[in-house]
Each structure stands twice: as C-alpha cells, then as structure tokens.
Amino acid sequence: MAAKNSKISLPSVLAFERKIDVSDGLFKSGEWSDRQNFQNWEPVLVREKAVRGTISSRSVTNKKLEDSIKNANPQRVDVASIGASSDSFSLQFSCKILGNIGLPSACSEPEYQKKLSEKISKYIDDDVVKDISTRYALNLANGRFLWRNRFGADDLEVKVQLLSKGQVTKEWVFDGFDFSLNDFSIPDKAEAAINELACVIAKGFAGDLAILNIVAFARIGSGQEIYPSEEFIQGKESGNVAGKKSKTLYSIDGVAGFHSQKISNALRTIDTWYEGGNASKPIAIEPYGSVTSMATAYRSKGNNFFKLLERFLSDDIEIDRKDDLKFLIAILIRGGVFSK
C-alpha cells in the first residue's frame, strides 16, 4: 500500500552543477583548403563601424520620432568579418562531460537528497541516458552551435576530438549538412561515429570524465561577416541612448567569440518531449521550456521541471512517461539552482 503524505517538499537550498561544461568559442579565418592548419589561421577581430542608416522602427505614439523618419539615423556598431583573402571561418571550443547526475552540489535536507538518489537509481536506465547522449552527439555533429553562422555556408565540417592527458585519443569528422536540425535521425554513413561519440558522452555522465575539443569549419565566401555573441547591455550604457554604440559584440582580447552559454543552449536543444511536442521543433532544455526568442514557455503547466520532480519523488504517483524521465535527467545535466 502506498504511504500517505509521501509528498516531499523542495528544500530551501538545492543546486546542481552542470554536467556538460562548455568553454567560450573563438573565431578564426582562413582558406577552406588549408583547414588542416587552422591553428595558423588569423583570429577574427571585432571592430567598430559607424554607419548612416534610416529609421525603421514603428512608432504610433512618439510624434517626434514620426516627424524625423525622413532623416538619417547614424549608428555605431561592432562588426566582425573574415579576411578578404579568406573564404572560411573556424570556431573552436572545448567541452567536459562530468558524472554524478542527480547528486546535488548543495542540498539543505539530507533526506531529500537520499530520496532523489534512490529514485534515480531505480528508474533511470541505460535507454534514458543513451537517448540523451545521442542527441547531444548529434548537436555536436550538425553544427547547431554555430547558430546564424550555419546558414548561408557552402560547406560545413565539424571535427570532434577526445582528449586524454592533452593528447588526441579519438577523432570524429562530420559533414554538418548530412544532419537535419529538425529531427534526431542518424544518417547511415555517420551511424557508427555518432554511436561512438554518444557512448563517450554516456560514459562521461556515468563518471568517466571526457574532455572534447570541437572545431567547426564553414566556407562562407571571402570577406563575409560572421555573427559572434552580442553583449546584453542595460540602462544608460545601452544603444537606446543617443551617441552610444547600438551593438556590442563579445570578444576575448579583441577576438570575436561565442558566449559559453550560447553554445550550451544549442547543445541542449534536445527537448521534443514536452506535451504537444513536435519532433520537428526541438527546444532547449529549460525548467519551464522557455524560448525567449518566441516569448513562449512550452512547459508552463504540469509538465514543468518542478511539477515532474515532485511527482518523481512521490511514493503515490508514478511517472509513466519515459519522455518525462528523460526531461528530468536532462535538467539535472543542465544544472541550476532549484531551491524553493
């Protein structure tokens, strides 16, 4: 008989470290035919540009703005482009796969931690971890992490290296355009490589540390612009203030880069398990299924992380959808502070 009042409340302190730890990414430019020597390619530098634009925003309330639409709209913006003698860019970053899924980095209630550990041991099987690991492997191979830079490329190659003691022990090379961004099917010719890479990731989650080095190459045409991360600037420093720069790009020592958070978001875009989920529209693993670019939360009701975790830890209610278990584990891999 199920125990009464078996519901366990969320602790006042509960946090999980992320199990996929990604570095910032850096851009270089060079010739596609010379990508084997990309270490010698030129860094892509961020530079400022002043342009004479027009007003294209819509305003029905600001009479002053409407009166000025015939005038120029001077702007200062950051830009980044590959060299005129180059036709390709590279993006390089590293990725660590860590173990101890489900072990909180901070928990104020030992009984809660014990219960969570028991439940994970009981219900999470190899199929759950395998599916999650395979989806992560596919998001490395397909170059989803390039975001806008992936589109408009003529060629796309992704190289993934497994490192040990600083040495490459295994390497996989993928044609990124062999993979779809709209599903997680595996092309026949890449099946063996994807399965190997997914196995490395799964072992990492099981505690066998994996350090991956990833380099993506895209041929986009000489002198073409690339799109690094854009800095989010608030208040008086934002571009809404006259004379201020209207777009600031992320750079490290002047070299164009991607925030680690932007790469991580792309890699964990594996959630097709939300209610009403569409296999052709994966979203990033987030507690509420939030997609800020669409101002939508796909898990705003009973299928959000906190509701599912509550059910998962209850003795009275079973989570019978394996997809819900996959989502729960994927959130623990993502990490975060989940205190009440």
Taking only the tens place, the pLDDT of each residue in 206-258 is: 999 999 999 999 999 999 999 999 998 876 555 555 567 788 999 999 999 99
Taking only the tens place, the pLDDT of each residue in 104-121 is: 999 999 999 998 888 888
Using the structure block, give the residue that is written with the tokens 């219960």. 115
Residue 3 is predicted with a pLDDT of 42
Would you say residue 53 has pLDDT above 60?
yes
DSSP 3-state of 251: strand
| Rounded Cα gap, residues 66 and 281, in angstroms | 39
Among 26, 18, 14, smallest CA distance to 264 is for 18
Taking only the tens place, the pLDDT of each residue in 2-46 is: 444 456 788 999 999 999 999 999 999 999 999 999 999 999 999
Would you say residue 60 has pLDDT above 60?
no
Instruction: Mention every residue, 6+ apart, whose C-beta is less than 8 A from residue 66.
Output: 59, 60
* 277 band by pLDDT with thresholds 50, 70 and 90: low
Q: Which one is predicted more confidently, 61 or 3?
A: 61
| Rounded Cα gap, residues 13 and 34, in angstroms | 52
* 263 band by pLDDT with thresholds 50, 70 and 90: very high
Write out the E strands in 234-318: 251-252, 255-258, 269-271, 283-284, 290-291, 296-297
Q: Which one is predicted more confidently, 221 or 321?
A: 221
Q: Is this prediction's pTM over 0.85?
A: yes
Backbone angles phi, psi at 311, to 5 degrees: -70, -40
Mean pLDDT of 83-110: 94
| Rounded Cα gap, residues 88 and 218, in angstroms | 5
Widest pairwise Cα distance in the chain: 76
Backbone angles phi, psi at 300, to 5 degrees: -85, -10
Among 14, 29, 11, smallest CA distance to 221 is for 29
Using the structure block, give the residue that is written with the tokens 């550990």. 117
* 1 band by pLDDT with thresholds 50, 70 and 90: very low
Q: Which one is predicted more confidently, 329 or 243?
A: 329
Task: Measure the CA angle with vertex 275, ends 271 and 276; round to 5°.
Answer: 100
Question: Would you say 172 and 159 are in contact if contact means Cβ atoms under 8 Å apart?
Answer: yes
What is the share, in percent, of the chain residues with pLDDT greater than 70? 89
